[in-house]
Each structure stands twice: as structure tokens, then as C-alpha cells.
Structure 1
Amino acid sequence: MSFDNAYDALTEADGDQHWAFGTGFDDPLSGVDRTVPASVSTQDLSTYCLMLGDDALILSQRLTEWCSRAPELEEDVALANIALDLLGQARLLLTRAGEVEGNGRDEDTLAYLRDEHEFRNVRLAEIDCGPGPGGDFATTIARLLVFSTWRLAVFTRLTTSADPVLAAIAEKGVKELAYHRDHAAQWTLRLAGGTEYSRTRMIAGLDQVWPLVDELFTTHEAEHALPGVAVPSSEVRADVDAVLAQVFKAAALSTPEVAPMSPIAGKTGRDGVHTEAMGYLLAELQHLARSMPGAQW
């Protein structure tokens, strides 16, 4: 049977499951009890979901900046798919944050209508190392390696969370994050073991992201307040360090010796204090939704 365009073919094959338009996927939370566990603070749970959701949303936005600009076509597709994985995690977590909060805010409201100081992502996710001026592919790989290794360690523990929604999100996420980590590790080996220039760029990329690594392992008060539900960030440091040490050994790289970025007045990204790059990122991310209030697409 012939079709006028590819979209007709897709809709004919899948009936009403128009996956090309972003629908028809399996719901990882189907059948999961969404009731907040007894004795769990809804405010702390909402904050924790915002933290994890914002991490994914902001890094997803950064990775999409490489679309059509990656060093090779296959990598263009790979980074886009990683960005989509993180966006999917962000949607689930922001939805959970909104429903637990109980103020009627959904995933779109939380993504598009919050101001900079209301975002709770780690600063590592927001720094600009994209394809524009000052950007660098090796730095993007260095960040992805650190971020995905850390997030995979957190999500692995979250699969046993007392909150069934968080546990279900984590169970889906660990499969995605394992790929993200391995993809970044392979590129780290490739760049470090390539030309003298590519190795220099990989070392420089690690040096650039390393000041923001310590923040990943600083346990937030919301994590302290959710025993059995949240994963204290400090608990995963040994696991993350061990994995990174393996990658660095295979790549003949040394752990960077650079000072960590200091909190601003004792505050970090988890507290809504961000780098200069965050404002520019949100301006692009939120432009359409703020320009056309109430629009649906």
C-alpha cells in the first residue's frame, strides 16, 4: 500500500498509537500506587522529586544543543536519544513533585513557569559546554560521564525506595543511565587514546567539570528528612569514585586536582543558587510557553 507521506504510513501501521507524535509509549507507572507513604512529608518528597527532575530536565536541554552539531552523525543521534531519556525521567519526576505538592502544578507548569531561583538542579547540569562559543565536545563527554555515573548510583538505590512511584521511575531509569554512562566512558577512552590534541581536550574537559563534582555528594536536608525514601547523596560517593577510577585507569588519565566550586553564601544549585549560564538556558527553554500563556501543543 502506498502513502502520501511517512506519517500516514506510521499511523496506518500503529492505529491510534501515533508514536511519531510522542504518544503510544508504555507507561512505566501503570498500576503503581501513587499514594504517598504514611509518615512521609509531602513537602520533602516534592522537593526531592524536583531535585531529581530538574537535574534531568536541565541536562536534557543542554544535550539537545548538540542536535545537528555533534562531530559525527551517529553521535548526533546518540546525544539526542540520551537527552530524550532524561526528558522522560524529568516528566515523571516533575509530575510526581506536582501531585505530591498538591497546589495544582503539573509538569509543564514546573518546567516552564518557575523562575531561576526555584530550580533545584545541581550546577553541573547547567554549565554551558555546548557547541556554541566556548563550548567543547570533550567537556560535554566529561560531564556526561560524571553525571550519569552518579545518577546511576542514586537510581540503583532508589529502586528499593519506600515510595513506589520513585521506585518505578528508578527501575526504568537505571537501564537508560547504564547506557549513558557506558557511552560516555567509551568516548572518554576514544578521546584520551586518540590524537595528542583530542587527549588534551579530554583532560581540559575533566578539569572544567571537576570543580562541580563535590556538590553531587552533598546531602540535602530533604534527603535527610526522607529515610527509606530518598538516597543521601554522600552515600554513593565511594561507588562513583570507584567507577570513575576504572575509566581513568583504562584511559591513562589522572583524577583532576582542581579546587571545588564554593557555595555562594552557603547555597548551591539545590538551594536555587545557580551559575550565570542558568538564566540564559531558561530563557531559551521557557521562551515559547511564556510568550504564549495557556497555549497547548
Structure 2
Amino acid sequence: MNADVSPVNSANAPSESEEALPGAAENGPTGERPEAAYLLGLADDAMVYAQRLSEWMTNAPQIEEDMALGNIALDLLGQARALYPYIGSIDGTGRGEDDYAMLRDERDWRNVHLVEQERGDFADEMARLLWFSAYQVELHTALTGSSDDVVVGVAGKALKEVRYHLDHASLWVVRLGDGTAESHRRMKAALERVQPHLAELFDDDDASVTAAELGVGVLPSSLHDGVVARVRRVVQEATLTLPDASPWRSRGGRAGIHSRPMGYLLAEMQHIARSHPGATW
């Protein structure tokens, strides 16, 4: 996979005289501490993928897998919930976790395209989970060395969870790839379908560069080799090979530019909260 891609430009910070408008990309949360925009991207990745994985409840191939994917979704939800209140305390908005999750429009989200894609074949999900969890293992391992104590705490807890996520996805990829002719074919096709959305994971956008310079975050590009090595070992065990680089690739998620499925995902996720503003439960 070729990770030598042009970085995505992050949103510009509003001036002090401008009022933040929900959903406007130009009013992204760069705030009082610039690392907030970087952390928001990590929280949004976890939140959106938690929503997608929760869709497998009653749809997985066996009831044990319903439970397993539901628990992985809960782990990711916990990562997002741990970061959102902290981000609100440092980005100048004072927003809480419900504000971030339920009251932002599509252009105000900073997640990568990989996590927002529609639920497809079960093999597609295992390919996506394999790549995303391998990325998160490398990410949170690096973030345990952050200069921010809150980030270190979140990363330390998340690392224990995402190692299990990676093991779970790995077992399924091997089971499908090294199974029947049909399961092998479908796992191979799933790895090819997920390929166009991978390069974006490793883009060094403005927010990540700033966070790395401050010692709070890490450059996504620095994670590339470790992630690919983890995935390649699993794919080889599954008697498969990594597909060639895609002729096209996704980009723009960190700047609030999303693919078609994102709007539908948010409509379902946010419907109750937006239908009953101010309600508590």
C-alpha cells in the first residue's frame, strides 16, 4: 500500500469575533489549545465506528459474534466518551460528550472515511476491523508516551481493548481466508474493497503535525510500517496477499469532507436527541 500521499489541510480557526457555527468546516475546534483538533479526530473515529459495529447486533453470523462486535463497539464508545469532555475543556467551546456526539452536523465531524462506510459483507467488516484495530494498536502504543497525562491515561486503557479487537479480527480473517474456496474468495474481495480507504489513516494533516510538535500526538505516517506489518502477518497466515494500491483513495475526513454514507449514519444516530432537544435520560 502506498502511503506517500498529499496531506489533507485542516480547517482554519475562526477569529475571536466569529461565532462558532455547528457543522461549518471553517469553524472546526482548533480553540485555545491546538491539539484539540487532533484529539477530536481520534474521538470521532471511535464514535463513528462504534455506531457502525453496533449495526451487527442480530446481523452477525452467530449469536456469539453479535455479542463480540457489540462489546467492541462499547469499547470504542468508551474511548470517545473519555476524550469528548476533555476536548470540550481545551478547545474553547465547553461542550460535553452529548454535544459532540448528537449535535454536530456532518461537516463538523473529523473521522476518516474508513469507519463511516456502510455495513457490508461480514468479510468486509473483518477486513475493516483488522486494519483499524492494527492502526489503533500502533496509535495507542505511541500515545502512551504523550506529554498529556489525560491522553496517556486514555491510551493506556484503550491499548488493552484494541489488542483484543485485533486478535478477534485476525482469527476471523484467518478462518475465512484459509477456509473453503468460497470463504477464501470473499475474504480476498473484502481486502480489495477496503483498500481505497486505508491511505487516509496515515495522512499527516495540519492537526496531527501540530499535536506531534507539541508532544501530545504522533504523526499518522509514523504508524504506517508497523500497521502494515501487523496486517501482512495475518493476511499471509490466511493464505492471502495484500492487494495492490487502489487507483483511487478516500481523503478529506479530517477536514469535514465525508462520503455519502456519513449523513445517513448521523441521521440514525442523532435522531432521538435532535427530536427531543434538551431531554435527559
Per-residue deviation, 1:102: 2.6
Which of 253, 262, 270 matches 2:240?
Answer: 253
Deviations 1:46-96 (A, max 9, x none): 111110000000000000000011101111110000000000001111111
Q: Which residue matches 1:233?
A: 220
Cα distance change of structure 1 residues 260 and 55 upon mapping to structure 2, 3 Å threshold: farther
- Whether the 8 Å contact between 1:163 and 1:229 is mirrored in structure 2 is yes
Amino acid at match of 2:193: Q
Q: Which residue matches 2:256?
A: 272
Is 1:282 the counterpart of 2:272? The answer is no
Q: Which residue matches 1:8?
A: none
Q: Which residue matches 1:76?
A: 66
Residues 110-121 of structure 1 aligned to structure 2 (within 5 Å): 110-121=100-111
User: Percent sequence identity over matched residues?
Assistant: 47
Q: Which residue matches 1:21?
A: none
In 1: Cα distance, 2:90 partner to 2:247 partner: 34
Is 1:96 the counterpart of 2:86? The answer is yes
Q: Which residue matches 2:182?
A: 197
Amino acid at match of 2:43: G
Is the deviation greater in 41-50 or in 62-71? 41-50
Gaps of 5+ in 1: 1-39
Q: Which residue matches 1:138?
A: 123
Per-residue deviation, 1:196: 1.1
Per-residue deviation, 1:201: 1.0
Deviations 1:218-266 (A, max 9, x none): 1121111122111100001110111111111111111112415445xxx
Structure number with the bigger relative contact order (C-alpha 8 A, sep ≥ 6) is: 2
The CA RMSD measured in Å over matched residues stands at 1.4
Q: Which is greater in Rg?
A: 1
In 2: Cα distance, 1:289 partner to 1:238 partner: 41
**SS of match in other structure, 2:170:** helix
Residues 166-205 of structure 1 aligned to structure 2 (within 5 Å): 166-205=151-190
In 2: Cα distance, 1:247 partner to 1:151 partner: 16
**SS of match in other structure, 2:34:** helix
